[in-house]
Amino acid sequence: MHGLYVHIPFCMRKCGYCDFASTDRWNSEDLAAYMGALAGEISRRGHEAGESLSSLYVGGGTPTVLTPALWEELFGAIHRQYSLDPDAEITVEANPGTLNEEGLRHLRLLGVNRLSLGVQSFDDRELAAMGRIHTGSQARQMVRLAAQAGFANLSIDLMQGVPEQTEDSFRSSLSEAAGLPLTHVSVYELKIEPDTAFFTRQQQGRLDLPADGVLSGMDGLREQILGEAGFGRYEISNYARPGQESRHNLLYWRNRMYTGVGLAACSRVPGKRITNTTDMVEYIRAHRDNRLPDALVEPVDRAMALEEELFLGLRLQEGIRAKDLQERHGVDLFAQYAGPIRQMTDEGLLSISGEGICLTRRGMDWANRVMTAFMR
């Protein structure tokens, strides 16, 4: 299994919390230059897969700022270099404020079969506080239009702990999500990152966030409302209906191989990890110089690969199977990690089955503590 991630760094407005490699300062010439460089990188990296793609994920930024002609060029470049499995999962991220019925139909004609909508909230006050360009009404309408356009696999993102949010408003957003024709919901807790507008406001004492006690109550609401609607929690921040888990993201969490193209994109290929430049000028220059835009190529040795397997695998509800660890790394899970397994199970954060280990419901909320115990 191999996945391809494609990064489109352009958006209509940079959100206050966003520290991704994205920009809202661009014009049509910038977009054309970047897409040309992106097609060049796709061509140069095509050999890394060595097999057909099981998943393709176009993220950003806001990929749906692309024109139909640019979408055609992008998918043409991908298909010239890669073959896709007949049942490949093909996902595009979208902002509800940048899509319409025609755009949805065009994505379906290109073969896109999964849409991930950056809803974040259905509350207009919260959306305005985050700097989103859409309203709650637009988000609801876009989910329904996408379903009518033939997207049977529909995901949305929600955020927890944002300005203006209360326990009641978060409950309302979850309930709205539960009542829409969705197959997948991601719920991310707000993290204040350096070099963001929220960080600056926080430093100035102008960022009013929900108290810790309110956040704790929100955790329980996620489990209750989404669980009652048929969504199972399969990863710390992700819920899906049975069989609708994100196959692309599972490649990351199961520590499988993937190629990333575009500004700041990362690749994990046999024996190494590659990170692209975050500098737009340098990215385009690399294409003009007929070279890859690598900023960092890091060897991944056996010890590092094992650590990644543990760190990533513990995020999943399925956890880590002893058989997989033995086959992939030659390591006896219960022998080598007897100490942290015993400690974390005694604290009620880890559960042991006949096949392996996984986080408990409480452990999901204290995942960093568990992971740290295994990294010592």
What pLDDT is attached to residue 49?
66
Give residue 213's pLDDT. Answer: 86
What the block records as the tokens of 192 is: 């204040």
The residues, ordered by sequence, that sit 6+ positions from 266 with a Cβ below 8 Å of its Cβ are: 5, 260, 273, 274, 275, 276
For 2-33, b where at least 16 C-beta lie within 10 A, e where not — what string? bbbbbbbbbbeebbbbbebbbebebeeeebeb
Q: Please state whether beta strands 2-8 and 257-261 pair in parallel, antiparallel, or not at all (unpaired).
A: parallel
- pLDDT truncated to tens, each residue of the chain (376 aa)? 899 999 999 999 999 999 999 999 999 999 999 999 999 999 999 877 677 999 999 999 999 999 999 999 999 999 999 999 999 999 999 999 999 999 999 999 999 999 999 999 999 999 999 999 999 999 999 999 999 999 999 999 999 999 999 999 999 999 999 999 999 999 999 999 999 999 999 999 999 999 988 888 898 899 999 999 999 999 999 999 999 999 999 999 999 999 999 999 999 999 999 999 999 999 999 999 999 999 999 999 999 999 999 999 999 999 999 999 999 999 999 999 999 999 999 999 999 987 999 999 999 989 999 999 988 6
> Euclidean distance between the first and final Cα of the chain, in Å?
31
The confidence score (pLDDT) of residue 216 equals 85
Identify the pLDDT of residue 144.
97
Query: Shortest CA distance to 248 belongs to which of 113, 64, 47?
Result: 113
CATH code for 2-252?
A: 3.80.30.20
Single pTM value for the model: 0.96
Sequence ranges of the chain with CATH classification 3.80.30.20: 2-252
pLDDT at position 303 is 92
3 in Cβ contact with 45 (< 8 Å): no
How high is the pLDDT of residue 365? 87
Provide the 3-class DSSP secondary structure of residue 188.
strand
Nearest to 236 by CA among 318, 297, 178: 318
308: left (phi over 0), alpha (psi -120 to 50) or beta: alpha
Rounded CA separation 61/14 (Å): 9
Measure the CA angle with vertex 5, ends 70 and 187; round to 5°: 110
- At residue 179, what are phi and psi to the nearest 5 degrees? -95, 0
Say how far apart CA 370 and CA 368 lie, in whole Å: 5
- Report H helices in 195-313: 197-203, 212-221, 227-228, 247-253, 280-288, 302-313
CATH code, residues 302-375:
1.10.10.920
